[in-house]
Each structure stands twice: as C-alpha cells, then as structure tokens.
Structure 1
Amino acid sequence: MASDAYRSGGQVSGTDVLVSLQQQKQCQVAQESSPEEMGIGGNADLCWSRPQTRVWTLMLLLGTCLLYCARVTMPICSMAMSEHFSWNKKQSGIILGSFFWGYCLTQVIGGHLSDKVGGEKVLLLSASAWGLLTTITPFVAHMTSVPLVFLTSLRFLMGLLQGVHFPALASLFSQKVRENERAFTCCTVGSGSQFGTLVIGGVGSLLLDWYGWESVFYFAGLCTLFWVYWMYRHLLSEKELTVSLEDLGKGLSPSKQTCVPWKQLFKKASVWAVIVAQLSVASTFFTLLSWLPTFFKETFPESKGWVFNVVPWLVAIPASIFSGVLSDHLTTLGFQTIFVRKLMQIIGMGASSFFVLCLSQTSSYRKAIIFVTASIGLQTFNHSGISVNVQDLAPSCAGFLFGVANTGGALLGVVWVSLSGYLIETVGSWTPVFHLVVVVNMVGLSIFLLFADARRVDIDPTCAIRVL
C-alpha cells in the first residue's frame, strides 16, 4: 500500500506505512502457510493463500452467477407473466422496480456487518433466504387472487436479501485478498453477474418456451440452495458459520475503538467521486438489465430470445476477466493507481455509453445485437475501476463504503426502471430511455475523473499505534 500511495502521486503518511507493514506481514504468513495448516476457510486475520484464493474465487464466481440467475428471472419472464396475469407496462415496471426498493435498504448495513463479523457469513446466510424465496415464487403467484401485490412484495424481499451481496464481497476481498491481486479477483467474481445473466438467458429462455415461466424460478432457486449446501458443507467450519447475537450486536453497533475517522471520511472529494460513479453505473446497468429483453421482443418480434439473452453476456465474461488482468498488469508496470482506475472507468462508462447511444438510433436487429454486446462487455471494466477504488480508499471499511455507494445506485435504479416503463408507455419510443442512460453515465464519469483518488482516507493517525 505504501507503493500504491506513491504511485497515486500522494505522500505516504506514517500511519499508512504502519498499516501497510502489518498487512504485508499478515499476508506473508498466509502465503507461507499451507491449506492444511490454516484450513480451507482461512484465518479471519490473514490474507488467503493462493490455493485458498483460487477455491474461493471460483465458488464466489458461481455464487454471484446464481445471484443474477435469481435476479434476472423476473425480467426474462415478465412478458409471459404479463400476458398470463394481464399486466400493462406500468404494472410490470412496478414489479421490476420493487426489487430495488429492497435492494437499497440493506447495502450499508450489509457492508458494515460484513466488516465486523465476516463477509462469508453474510453471503451464505442471505443466499439461503433468497434462494428459498426464488423457489417459492410460482406457488405464491398462483395461490393468491392479487398476484401483483404479492409478487411485488416478494421482489422487495428479494432485493433486501440480495442487497448485502456485493458490499459483503468488497469487505471480504479487502480483508482476505492481497492488494496486487484485488482487481483480478474482483473482476473474476464480478463476471459472475454476466455469467449468471448468460446462463439464465440461455437456459431460462429454453425453459420458458418448453415448460413455462414457473420452471425458470424453480431452476434458479434450487441451484442456489444446492450451492449454499455445498459451501456450508465444504468451505466453512461450524465455528465460522456461527453468528451469535452478541456478534450481530457488535457488528450493528458503532465501535468506540475504531480507527476509521467517520466524520472526516465523507468530507473527502475522492469518497464522493466513487459514490457518484457507482451510483451512475449501478442505476444505468439495472435499467438496461430490466428492460432489454422487452426492448428486443417488442422492437424485433421475430428475434430469438436466446440470442439477445445470451450473446452480450457471453462476450462480457472474458471482457471482465481481461479488464482485471489489464488493470493489475498496468499497476505492476508502475502506472499510478488512480490513472489505471480512471482509465478503466473511461472505458466502462464512456465507451459503453457510446454504444448505448448507437443502439437508440438503429433499426437493424444485427446492429442492435452488436451495440448491446459492445456496451455490456465494456461495462465490465467498471469492476477494475470503481469497485477496486473503494478498497484503495478504505480497506478497513470497504463493505460499508461500497454499501453506501450501491445504495444510491439502487435508489436511482428504482426511479429509472419505473420511469422507463412510464416513458415507453407514454411516448411509445425507447429512445428517451437510452438517452437517459447515457446522460447519467456521463455525469458520473465526469465527477470521477475530476475528483477520484487512490490514497487511503480511512485511518485516524491518532490510533496508528494500536494497529501494531
């Protein structure tokens, strides 16, 4: 971290040096320890060894994949469900948007709790619940005379439970992954969002055609519950799975002995830069994720669902991994950390928005597929930009800070998804929706380029002595 602060163009404080030496010493012990000595779950105070990192990266990639399988079931099935239950686009927009109302409420608390009791515990406990909810969704829809109300409530609960996932990942990576491997790890696990959308886009489209929309929910929910069972059985010990009421109380209450200068943290321009950028990225991505299946079905009615539900995400997976490799490689070559983060955001927000703009102007199905694929593929560069920049700024409270940023994105996601449905229904055109995405992205990118930094802001110098 001392070298990162130097490459960022800033000065290294005495506190940063002490914290860096301590973390490097911990990671060195972890790297020299065998998996048998540490246990596959690892020690909460040490970085993962390389074998552990590989296992956890693979399983968290799969977990993120299943998260998106469950999340995207409703957008994929919305047309079929709208026909079955006689919903218009405003009503569909209410159901799709209700997810984000719940999603925004647990981001901060999920990140803070992960910082205190461990991100792996929060991840698996939440996955158990949202996996079960996904599985029972068809039963709830058919058992009630007002499916709109009950499905809206279920989507709200789904948002509450899934809201903790990415803040928990940010917290877990900041505590367990070596700094020069974070971009690759974040991008690899983050590609699970594209992988999950790809899987549910392909398998879900086939299940939808063959067995009806109910089968899509069963598939996503049962796969998630099986993943949770495997993780419980093989990756975590009984002690690591236990979260006592006392632990929860400590995690939810502010610590009086924390080294985090909370009052000063949100006075930093760099903190607000990453919050605004994440807000823009999350809200625009949620809008596209929710409405693209409907856009293709209505604009190109003869198109095959598996094409537009699969091809963009098939390209996005290697693009995400490549962005992580590129980011870590540029940092290793000696480029300033903040330069690398900003470069990734120029690609992730700027270049991707250009193709969204192109999408709004085309009437060709082939070009639309190309533009959507390019835009979604380039958006994955955000994983090695702002997602890692949160950990640059505040590794000791990365989960909390990411939760704050993603809360804003979820709130805007509620507004944009619902507003998009209103615009499409009222104006009768998709162009305003795509223009809205471009404008929001450009505002977020401009603020990030002006004010972003990579120097730590989460340590109070007065408690540096307690670190060692």
Structure 2
Amino acid sequence: MAAGGGGRNVPLGSGPRDGMRRDGGAEPYWSRRRQGDPVFGADWDTWGSATLLCHPGEVIQHQDLRISPFSQLRPESRVWTVMLLLGTCLLYCARVTVPICAVALSSYFNWDKKQSGVVLSSFFWGYCLTQIIGGHISDQIGGEKVLLLSASAWGFLTVLTPLLTHISSAHLVFMTSSRFLMGLLQGVYFPSLASLLSQRVRESERAFTYSTVGTGSQFGTLVIGGAGSLLLDWYGWESVFYFSGLLTLLWVYCTCKYLLSEKELIIPIDYLTRGLSISKQTKVPWKQLFRKAPIWAVIIAQLSTASTFFTLLSWLPTFFKETFPGSKGWVFNVVPWLVAIPTSLFSGFLSDHLINQGYRTITIRKFMQVIGSGVSSIFALCLGQTSSFCKAIVFASASVGLQTFNHSGISVNVQDLAPSCAGLLFGVANTGGALLGVICVYLAGYLIETTGSWISVFNLVAAVNSIGLCTFLLFGEAQRVDTDSVLSGTRLCFGKGWRLQFPLQEPPGPA
C-alpha cells in the first residue's frame, strides 16, 4: 500500500509486532512514505480510537481500521495537563503581584487610596479588551502558541516593571500603564486554554482536565500569597516581581523545549470519529451560532458565575474584617481557596466518571451547574445570616469551593457546543463576565453603604447566579452547533502540511 507515492513502504505496528495485525493477519494497517524513519504506530484492537505519530508533510492513507482504546496519548496528555496547571498558577502569581505589594507600593511612592485604586483597577480594563480577539486567534493558529507568546510577554513585563519604575519619574502613570498592559496580555489566556482543550481533549475527559488546570488559579493565589509575603518582608517589593516573572519565563522555556517539537505530532483519530474538528482553518459561522439558544444559554450562565466570583473575591476579606474584627486574615484569606482545590478536582473526576458510565453529557453539565451556581448560592445566603466566625468560614469555604463545579459545567459546555471556535465564544462570555463583575462589585459596595447590611450583598450573589442557572437549565445543550460537515471520505488539514486522508467505514472482521 503506497502512502502518497514514492519511497519504500514502512509497516507500522505496535511494539514488537511491527507490521503484524493482532488478529493474525499479515498486512500492516498503515504504511509510510519515508525510508529509514523511526517506526511509529498504535496498538490496534477495537473499533473506536487510536493515536498515530507522524511527520510533517506526509499523507497517511487508511486501509483497515481496527483501533485501540485511547491510551498512547495519555502520558503526554498528563504532562501537558501539569504544565498548563503550572501556567495557570503563574498567571495568577503575576496577576496578584501588585495587590500583594499594594501597601508597600503606596508607602514607597506616597500614593493615596484613590491612586492605589486606579492602579489596581487598570488591570481589568485591559483584561476585557483581548478576550475575544485572543480566543479567535487561538482557534485559527492554535491555543498553545497564543498561550506561550502571551506568557513570554507578561513574564518579561513583570521582571522589567521594578527596573523601569525606578527609572521613570511618573511612577503612577507607569504602574497604571503596566497593569493595563498586563491585563491585555493575560486576557488571552483562558480563551486560548478553552480553544486548546476543545481541540485536543476528548469530551469524556474535558471536565477533569479543565478542572485540574483551573486549580492553578487557587494554587497561584496561595503561592504568591505565601512566598510573596515572605519576599516582601525580607527583600522588598521588587523581589516579588522578579520571583513571579522569572518563574513564568522558566515555564515558557521548559514548555517550548520539552513539549513543543517540530519532529512529531500526535493525532488522536477518535477526535475525527467523534466529529471533533482539529482543523485550524474552520470558519466561524457567526450568524448560525448566535441564533442558537444553547450558545446564549452558556454565555449568560458564564456571565453570572464570573461576575459573582469577582464579587466574592473582592468583598469577602472586607466582610470578615468588619463582621469579625478579631479574626486572623490568614484564615479567611487562605482556607476558602484551599478548599476550592480538592473540590475542583473532585468535580472534574465525578463529571467524567458519570459520562463514561453512560449518562448524557448535557445531564451531567447541568447537574454540575446546579451545584456550582445553586448550592453554592445557598451557602452564600447562609454566610450573611451567621454570627459565628467558625460557621462563617465553613459557609464561605463551601460557597467558594462549590463554585468550582462550574469548571465541569458551563466552562466545558462551550467546548461541547463549538470546539472549532470555543476560544472565541469563551472570550465573548468571559469579557461580558468581567464587565458585569465590575458592575456587581460596585453595586455590592453601594448596597453595603445604603443598607448597612451584608445580607443584601449575598442576596445579590444568589440572584445573579439564579438567573444564569435557570437560563442554562432551560436552554442548555451539549450537541455540536458549529458545523454540519460529514467526516466520511474527506481530507482534513491540520496546518503546516499535516493531512489525514481516509474514508471512514466499518472495519472488516477478524482475518
């Protein structure tokens, strides 16, 4: 069987059985064009999925297709998951650097509260501007490229900030501009992550992968809160910037050197049999997408959960300080976010387990969202009613922790609906969530000022969450809405010469 014509045919097999079929047949399943190249292949067993390793510029043609369980990708998949978790951790380390050093910076540069607020808030205005464009570019060229480029830029910016601040005389203007630019650079991260996972992770593994990577936000907050506070006390505020920036650049270097390679590419065949588009040339059907109720359902739900998260993140420390004046800051600033790590991992594991058990994907997505938005809101309401510090910590931890179930609900539902443009849609939803978050944070402060009661704030959180949850329960779906194409008998382009060519058909019986 020739593969693209020319050259000697090289059989592909599984380990010691190179060129041999497991059912006893002698004909290899795949042949390759190049002579003398290493032998790659998959462990063929059952109709379903496989992993091929091939080289740029080759055309692989299908003859028989007896495909094994999706196993060969798992070692690299685990490494990528860990590296993306670390990337998310470092994202938050860089993001929280200025808030950690806010008091020291105010003292060093003689800023008042208003000036400090301008510096802190400038991040979010930049953060809102690049979400959509970042997601769209990621859908076109690959999320991993956008992630690494943005991480390189914000790493250098973090390292250079102390140096340039000392050189500049307009400290306030420079720090405000630096935070705005940081927001621009980090705004592409989560849309790019959504795009990457939608095109590289199977439906039955998305929830655990996304929830695992998402725990990096809690890890990053804890790492910079602990290590950053120590560095601030020992070596000054500059050291916190150097610590965060240099670690980010080290992460980028290791990822590029050890995980990105031009020599080989792993192509999971079951992406194709499940209809998951890997093509980076897919055009976004704007009119069709935004006319569909499931798209608006997931966007509205994302708006509500993102805005309530920002509200709790912004006001919980003040709530504890004012309601329980003698409480320790390290308790209420650490415990809820520490609890969020195992709950996020558990939600992903539970979601994927239930899907693999045969439950409908949309049923599991809605179940996770009920916990993430509904049950967490109940604990938020309880938080406003208690006068016990211990109970308040329990309620706050439960509310913040259960919110991470959203990672296995609406956060991956975008990838279910439109994997070919998941980054763009996630960017739209996250941009709206950030803008609504700014409004909700301001509205919460207004309610506290006018009513003098924290109950109104937690009522606001519950109300916004309820709107998003009800919309998703009524109109949410998990079927693809971004394409009507049929994969059978087609040629799929993977960019830079990657092509896979075969007619999908039922495999023959045992030889």
Report TM bin, short chain. 0.7 to 0.9
State the Cα deviation string for residues 312-341 of structure 1 (Å, max 9, x = none): 222111111110110011112222211111
Q: Would the alpha carbon gap of residues 99 and 299 (structure 1) be closer, same or farther in structure 2, given more than 3 Å must change? A: farther
Shift of 1:464: 8.3
Q: Counting strand residues as a fraction of each chain, which structure ranks higher? A: 2
Shift of 1:463: 9.5
Contact map agreement 1:102 1:160 (CA 8 A) in 2: yes
1:67 maps to what in 2? 91
Which whole-Å CA distance do the structure 2 matches of 1:371 and 1:426 have between them? 25
1:278 pairs, out of 265, 286, 302, with: 302
Contact map agreement 2:102 2:116 (CA 8 A) in 1: yes
1:136 maps to what in 2? 160
Q: Would the alpha carbon gap of residues 198 and 144 (structure 1) be closer, same or farther in structure 2, given more than 3 Å must change? A: same
2:241 maps to what in 1? 217
Q: Would the alpha carbon gap of residues 370 and 210 (structure 1) be closer, same or farther in structure 2, given more than 3 Å must change? A: farther
Which whole-Å CA distance do the structure 2 matches of 1:384 and 1:261 have between them? 26
Which whole-Å CA distance do the structure 1 matches of 2:134 and 2:117 have between them? 26
Which whole-Å CA distance do the structure 2 matches of 1:148 and 1:357 have between them? 39
Alignment size in residue pairs: 420
State the Cα deviation string for residues 283-306 of structure 1 (Å, max 9, x = none): 222233344445545555554443
Contact map agreement 2:140 2:280 (CA 8 A) in 1: no
State the Cα deviation string for residues 29-52 of structure 1 (Å, max 9, x = none): 32xx4xxx469xxx9xx9981111
Which whole-Å CA distance do the structure 2 matches of 1:340 and 1:144 have between them? 54
Q: Would the alpha carbon gap of residues 98 and 50 (structure 1) be closer, same or farther in structure 2, given more than 3 Å must change? A: same
- Shifted more, 82-91 versus 300-309: the winner is 82-91
Shift of 1:435: 3.5
Listed as ranges, the gaps of 5+ residues in structure 2 are: 1-45, 60-69, 265-278, 493-502, 504-511
Q: Would the alpha carbon gap of residues 372 and 147 (structure 1) be closer, same or farther in structure 2, given more than 3 Å must change? A: farther
2:378 maps to what in 1? 354
Shift of 1:417: 3.9
Which whole-Å CA distance do the structure 1 matches of 2:356 and 2:476 have between them? 20
State the Cα deviation string for residues 212-269 of structure 1 (Å, max 9, x = none): 44433332222111111211221113689xxxxxxxxxxxxxx997464321100111
Matched, 1:174 2:198: yes
Q: Would the alpha carbon gap of residues 165 and 78 (structure 1) be closer, same or farther in structure 2, given more than 3 Å must change? A: same
2:335 pairs, out of 288, 311, 324, with: 311
1:268 pairs, out of 292, 305, 312, with: 292
RMSD over equivalenced CA pairs, Å = 3.3
State the Cα deviation string for residues 167-218 of structure 1 (Å, max 9, x = none): 1111111111122111111111111111212222222333344444443333
1:99 maps to what in 2? 123
Matched, 1:29 2:53: no
Shift of 1:386: 0.6
2:148 maps to what in 1? 124
Q: Would the alpha carbon gap of residues 73 and 381 (structure 1) be closer, same or farther in structure 2, given more than 3 Å must change? A: same
Q: Which amino acid aligns with 1:314?
A: L
Q: Would the alpha carbon gap of residues 433 and 134 (structure 1) be closer, same or farther in structure 2, given more than 3 Å must change? A: farther
Q: What is the percent sequence identity of the aligned residues?
A: 72
Q: Counting helix residues as a fraction of each chain, which structure ranks higher? A: 1
Instruction: For residue 479 of structure 2, give the secondary structure of its aligned residue in structure 1.
Output: coil
Which whole-Å CA distance do the structure 1 matches of 2:115 and 2:385 have between them? 27
Contact map agreement 1:90 1:421 (CA 8 A) in 2: no
2:432 maps to what in 1? 408
Contact map agreement 1:312 1:373 (CA 8 A) in 2: yes
Matched, 1:441 2:446: no
**Whose relative contact order is higher, 1 or 2, with alpha carbons under 8 Å and at least 6 apart?**
1
1:164 maps to what in 2? 188
Which whole-Å CA distance do the structure 2 matches of 1:140 and 1:296 have between them? 37
Contact map agreement 2:140 2:281 (CA 8 A) in 1: no
Which whole-Å CA distance do the structure 1 matches of 2:132 and 2:457 have between them? 29
- Shifted more, 207-216 versus 341-350: the winner is 207-216
